[in-house]
Structure 1
Amino acid sequence: MKRTKTLNRARLLISCSDQPGIVAAVSDFLHQKGANIVQSDQYSTDPEGGMFFMRIEFDLSSFNERFSTVEKEFPAIAERFGISWRLESERKTKKMAMFVSKEDHCLLELLWRWRSGELDVEIPVVISNHEDLRDIVESYGISFHYIPVSKETKQKAESDAASLLKDYHIDFIVLARYMQILSPDFVKSFEHRIINIHHSFLPAFIGANPYKKAFERGVKLIGATAHYVTNDLDEGPIIEQEVLRVNHRYDTDDLKIAGRNVEKIALARAVEWHINDKVLVYKNKTIVFN
């Protein structure tokens, strides 16, 4: 079912050192600007010297004028409390690019949710280092760009991809089973805006054939982890994890099927929360107001 937008709604996300008066000051500021707060979530790591995180949804009449006023005048509150903040408008639809290789399960899950209206996002482009998924992507009316990657061409491939992302005005990237490691420069240009998915066997079963190794070990739980990409491979801030119980009757192929199912569920949730500005990153952790 297609999600209905509230066109006069905005979101404010803040993080700062915990101290008295933050909630009162922010709420009073929004009230003075004519805002009606419809939802407010907050979290403190420790009331004595910890960090404070907050996500507020509010409605504004005369939206364009008042949203601009909030944007211009909130820095005074932010400076007073040392707040890092982000203001988002529900009128703006984020643009998402997907990077894929050969496996299609995560790609298809996100495309289905997008077409059904569950994901309020634009998908202008899919980039791949293989041609295998071109027909699927183009059947959805989305541009598909094949950019092969080798050790010798990696730098040029990333440069070409970066140019495409700029041309399509992409806000964030989803690695939907993209089997390439991105360079530090590329990751830095999309800090906390690249979402990856991998099986949660890591670091227990690294290298090739993780499902075979898991089968041989007799695991009873398998899972998947969706996280923001950093330069520490598969160690970025975790957004969501999903697990599924298995038993001795599962062979290697059964584990692969189960693994694909939990991967696409975890990734879809992470993407949805990112789209709806429900994730705040602090150091190498996330606060998810889901």
Structure 2
Amino acid sequence: MERKVLITDCADAKGLITKITGVCFNHRLNIIKNSEFVDNSQGRFYMRTELEGDFNDPQILADLNEVLPHESHLKLVSTSKKRVVIMVTKEAHCLGDILMKAYYGGLDVEIAAIVGNYDSLKPLADKFDIPFHFISHQGISRPEHEKLMEDVIESYAPDYLVLAKFMRILTPEFVAHFPNRIINIHHSFLPAFIGASPYRQAWERGVKIIGATAHFVNNCLDEGPIIKQDVIHVDHSFSAEDLARNGRDVEKSVLSKALQLVLHEEVIVYGNKTVVF
């Protein structure tokens, strides 16, 4: 039997769970797992319902809309493997971690291609037989460079883009082509130390923890909806280089965990925040 995930986003009201599960029952769909959250400050209801059954009847979503409040947002998506394109610059740790986990089954994902603005990581891509596209940014404008990347990326029709230490700021025009579909790893526990050289900033401030943040990309630098964060403890004996070395382990772990959540449809974006089930 086929499995799908139903995502519900609507105004909060009494009896929503009963109404939604009732429609699922009427369509002979078995509920495997159900999670819900109410944002009382906004009066919004969010629910993730994992379903099993026959989804050939196109009336399912219409019946759900009929019992839900006006202007509800519904998404019924397959649990089949998602496709991603990974964007990189020179650092290998995040890319290598994703490639290894995908290869050995730790991440249920199809890596369609890797795009780099340097060719430094092509040998790593070759080891896993993943197409690598070297698209240099040198000597051309940012819009020209992004258009070249966009053409390659769209040829693979990915579900998501993963910025595995892609060290260039993306323009609003590029981001608009992939709304809430670009996942970035930032080498800092946001909102602290945004922008360049965060480990140097952290060392200069004498921090006692460092961390990493995976988030969706929007038009504000390092301020998109947060998916996953983690930290490790450090002390006064750590140099800026020590912080960076230890931070790389946190970065790759946070990115792969965030990617897993997104691939399994366990993240709902609302405003500049997320619900993570």
Q: Please report the TM-score for the alignment, with normalisation by the length of structure 2.
A: 0.94
Report the equivalent of 1:81: 69
The farther-off stretch of 71-80 and 215-224 is 71-80
2:140 is the alignment partner of 1:160: no
Deviation string for 1:214-255 (max 9, x for gaps)? 223221000111000000111000001010000122122210
* 1:266 partner amino acid: V
In 1, the alpha carbon distance for the partners of 2:194 and 2:74 equals: 38
Task: Tell me which amino acid in the other structure corresponds to 1:93.
Answer: K
Amino acid at match of 2:168: Q
Q: What residue in structure 2 maps to residue 174 of structure 1?
A: 162
Deviation at 1:24, TM superposition (A): 1.1
Deviation at 1:209, TM superposition (A): 3.5
Query: Structure 1 counterpart of 2:7, which letter?
Result: L
Q: Could you tell me which residue of structure 2 aligns to residue 51 of structure 1?
A: 44
Q: Does residue 262 in structure 1 map to residue 250 in structure 2?
A: yes
Structure 2 counterpart SS, 1:15: strand
| Moved beyond 6 Å, runs of 4+ | none
Residue 52 to residue 243, structure 1, CA distance change in 2 (3 Å): same
Q: Please tell me the root mean square deviation across aligned C-alpha atoms, in Å.
A: 1.8
Cα pair 1:130 1:146 within 8 Å, conserved: yes
Offset of 1:95 from its aligned partner? 0.5
Larger deviation: 199-208 or 72-81?
Answer: 199-208
Pairing partner for 2:132 from 108, 127, 144: 144
Picking from 48, 56, 62, the partner of 1:68 is 56
What secondary structure is seen at the aligned counterpart in 2 of 1:159? Answer: helix
For the 8 Å contact 1:201–1:210, the answer to whether it is kept is no
Letter in 2 for 1:278: E
Aligned with 1:81: secondary structure?
coil
Structure 1 residues 203 and 94: alpha-carbon distance in aligned structure 2, compared to 1, 3 A threshold = closer
Partner residue in 1 for 2:229: 241
Q: Report the CA distance between 1:192 and its aligned residue.
A: 0.4
Q: Is the 8 A contact 2:190 2:212 kept in 1?
A: no
> What's the CA shift string for 1:43-65, capped at 9, x where partnerless?
0112x8611000001111xxxxx
Counterpart of 2:56 in 1: which secondary structure? Answer: helix
Distance 1:49 1:283 in 2: 11
Counterpart contact for 2:6–2:77, Cα < 8 Å: yes
**TM value normalised by structure 1:** 0.90
**What is the Cα deviation at residue 201 of structure 1?**
5.4
Structure 1 position 120, deviation (Å): 1.1
* Deviates most, 236-245 or 196-205: 196-205
Q: Judging changes above 3 Å, is the alpha-carbon distance between structure 1 residues 166 and 58 closer, same or farther for their aligned structure 2 residues?
A: same
Larger mean CA deviation between 142-151 and 98-107 belongs to 142-151
Hey, what's the Cα distance between the residues in 1 that align with 2:45 and 2:275?
10
User: Does the aligned pair in 2 maintain the 1:22–1:81 contact within 8 Å?
Assistant: no
> In the alignment, which residue of structure 2 is the partner of 1:34?
28
In the TM superposition, 1:171-250 aligns within 5 A as: 171-200=159-188, 204-205=192-193, 208-250=196-238
| 1:206 Cα offset (Å) | 5.0
Query: 1:151 Cα deviation (Å)?
Result: 7.3
Q: Which runs of 5+ in 2 are unaligned?
A: none
Tell me the distance in 2 between the aligned counterparts of 1:151 and 1:53: 47
- Runs of at least 5 residues in structure 1 that lack an aligned partner in the other structure: 1-6, 61-65
Residues 123-179 of structure 1: CA distance to partner in whole angstroms, max 9, x if unpaired? 010000001000001110100000111473322221222222221121110000001
Give the distance between the partners of 1:215 and 1:253, measured in 2 at CA.
Answer: 9
Q: Which amino acid aligns with 1:58?
A: L
2-structure distance, mates of 1:185, 1:208: 22
Query: How many positions carry a matched residue from both structures?
Result: 275
Amino acid at match of 1:16: C
Return the alpha-carbon distance in structure 1 between the equivalents of residues 27 and 173 of structure 2. 40
What percentage of aligned pairs have identical amino acids? Answer: 40
From 5, 18, 25, the equivalent of 2:19 is 25
